[in-house]
Each structure stands twice: as structure tokens, then as C-alpha cells.
């Protein structure tokens, strides 16, 4: 598909119909699929992933990564823990230093590429900046397709003016949805149901953020996230209240937040 065909597609009624679907789905789970349909209408893409990165107050360190969704060929979508920013330091540095919207083209054939996906050979990353948050959309192409051309990169950069604000709206919806789920987990605890989901989500977020907590630090964090008080957790773990506070301080320092409230906000990506 050449650039002329792409522009023609962008002017077609069907393109605007798909754009309308995307706009109306910023509060729905199939947002990523609708975005893939829209972009694929302009240039060939086999898969995409959406995520939100959160930086510290000084915008010098990455503190959190929240996966927002993916769509396309499963063979070209990286595993959740295979696309860590630590594997792409150049991209991370660009994100930390950016002052506006930017477009980055990268190849997945880098260090650790074999674990990224089975077939994806090319990727293009769009990033938006909103305070300490960065919304990231990564497009993938298989090895049977050519790399992204300069004209396609230019087209995507122009398209990002419309797409990136929509991703930011979807990210906000995702945070609110996670918060609602958090309330459900707390309700489950009250009714004595096993809170297995919050354990899975907690460890998933630790993996995505490449953060390691000690066993005690994890136990204290999970106890607080499940609604426990410091004395209750201390009694359960057979520790002093002061020890619980110490473990909490150590854990939240690693997470880049402060206190129980900060821990909760980190958990929901707020």
C-alpha cells in the first residue's frame, strides 16, 4: 500500500465510520481492536499493543507500566514481560526526555528479540505526553512485510494528533475500571472469599515494572491492599507493628510512592 492509496483511504466514508467506532469505544474493552482496524486501513499492521507509563514527579525515572490492551495476530504480540523498557533503553531514554508527542521507529531484532514474538520483525512506537504519564502504542509487522517507510512514519505522526488523545481517554477509563475492580476485591474479602485476583494483579504489576520486593514486603503490601490494618497484619505475621511500618516504607520506596494511600494508587495505576 503506497502513500497515495493511504490518503485515499483516509478520505473514504468507511474510514470515518471506523474512526467513529474508535471514538465511541474509549470506554470499552475492544478499543485496541478498533484502533488496529483504523490504522490497518491506512497501512498494513499485523498487531498493536497499548500501555501507559508513569514517571516520578521529576520525570526522570519510570515508576509504573500499565498494559491497556492489544489486538492482532497473537504471534506478533510480545509476552507481557518480554517488552520491558529495560530491554529497550534507547526508547526509555527518549520517553524520559520527551516534551511533546513523538514517533520512534525501532526493530524488534535487538537484544532478547527471540523472546519478543515468534514472527514480528518491525515495530513503530507512538508516545504521548500528559504530565507524568506517557501513553504508548506500539505497531508490529511480521518478517514477511517490509519495514515502516519514511512516508508511513510521516502519515502516522500526523494521525497521532487524533489517536493519542483517544488513547489518553481510554487510559483514564482503564484506571477507573481497575478502581471499580479494587472495590470488588475488598467486598470479596468482607464476605470471606479468597482474594486470589488481587494477588495475581499485584505480582503482574511488579513483573511489568521490573520491581522486586522481599517476601515480607509483599505480605505487608497484600495485607494492606486486602483491607487489613497494621495491628492485624502484625498479629498474622507475628511481628511488631513497627516492623510492619518498616516493611511498608521499604516496599513503597521501591514502588516510588509513599504510605498506604500511595500503595493503593500504584496498584490501580492512578
CATH at residue 245 = 1.10.10.10
Q: Do 130 and 227 sit in the same domain of this protein?
A: no
pLDDT tens-place string over residues 115-126: 445 556 788 888
The grid cell for 46 is: 499485523
Closest CA to 49 of 21, 83, 99: 83
SS3 of the chain: helix, strand, coil, percent, to 5: 55, 15, 30
Residues 128-132 have a mean pLDDT of 82
The answer to whether the beta carbons of residues 110 and 87 sit under 8 Å apart is yes
Q: Is the pLDDT of residue 39 over 70?
A: yes
Q: What percent of the chain has pLDDT over 70?
A: 73
Same domain, 122 and 250: no
Higher pLDDT, 78 or 83: 78
Provide the pLDDT confidence category of residue 229 given band limits of 50, 70 and 90: confident
How many structural domains are present in the chain?
A: 2
Tens of pLDDT, residues 189-212 = 444 445 457 788 888 888 888 888
Question: What pLDDT sits at residue 4?
Answer: 44
Q: Are 165 and 185 in a shared domain?
A: no
pTM greater than 0.85 (yes/no): no
Domain final position from 173, 198, 216:
173
Rounded CA-CA distance 209/46 in Å is 26
Indicate whether 89 pLDDT > 50: yes
| pLDDT for 109 beyond 70 | no
Q: Give the pLDDT score at 140.
A: 92
Domain boundary (131, 152, 173) is at 173
Q: Edge-to-edge strands of the sheet including 62-72?
A: 62-72, 47-55, 133-142, 120-130, 102-107
Query: Is the predicted pLDDT of residue 6 greater than 50, yes or no?
Result: no
Based on the fold, state whether residues 49 and 132 are members of the same structural domain.
yes
Grid coordinates representing 198 are: 488481587
Residue numbers of the domain that contains 209? 179-268
Spatial distance between the Cα atoms of 135 and 68, rounded to a whole number of angstroms: 9
Q: Are residues 130 and 72 in the same domain?
A: yes
Amino acid at each position: 500500500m503506497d502513500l497515495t492509496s493511504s490518503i485515499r483511504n483516509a478520505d473514504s466514508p468507511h474510514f470515518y465510520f471506523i474512526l467513529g467506532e474508535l471514538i465511541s469505544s474509549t470506554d470499552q474493552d475492544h478499543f485496541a481492536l478498533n484502533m488496529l482496524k483504523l490504522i490497518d486501513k491506512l497501512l498494513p499492521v499485523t498487531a498493536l499493543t497499548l500501555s501507559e507509563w508513569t514517571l516520578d514527579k521529576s520525570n526522570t525515572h519510570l515508576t509504573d507500566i500499565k498494559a491497556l490492551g492489544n489486538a492482532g495476530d497473537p504471534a506478533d504480540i510480545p509476552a507481557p514481560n518480554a517488552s520491558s523498557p529495560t530491554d529497550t533503553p534507547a526508547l526509555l531514554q527518549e520517553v524520559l526526555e520527551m516534551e511533546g508527542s513523538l514517533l520512534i521507529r525501532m526493530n524488534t531484532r535487538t537484544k532478547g528479540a527471540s523472546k519478543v514474538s515468534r514472527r514480528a520483525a518491525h515495530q513503530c512506537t507512538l508516545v504521548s505526553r500528559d504530565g507524568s504519564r506517557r501513553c504508548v502504542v506500539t505497531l508490529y509487522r511480521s518478517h514477511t512485510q517490509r519495514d515502516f517507510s519514511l512516508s508511513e512514519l510521516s502519515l502516522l505522526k500526523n494521525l497521532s494528533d487524533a489517536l493519542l488523545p483517544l488513547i489518553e481517554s481510554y487510559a483514564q477509563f482503564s484506571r477507573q475500571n481497575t478502581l471499580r475492580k479494587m472495590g470488588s476485591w475488598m467486598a470479596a474479602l468482607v464476605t470471606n472469599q479468597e482474594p486470589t485476583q488481587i494477588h495475581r494483579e499485584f505480582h503482574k504489576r511488579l513483573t511489568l515494572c521490573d520491581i522486586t520486593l522481599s517476601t515480607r514486603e509483599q505480605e505487608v503490601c497484600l495485607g494492606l491492599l486486602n483491607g487489613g490494618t497494621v495491628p492485624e497484619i502484625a498479629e498474622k505475621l507475628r511481628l511488631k507493628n513497627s516492623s510492619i511500618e518498616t516493611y511498608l516504607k521499604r516496599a513503597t520506596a521501591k514502588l516510588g510512592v509513599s504510605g498506604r494511600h500511595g500503595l493503593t494508587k500504584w496498584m490501580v495505576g492512578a
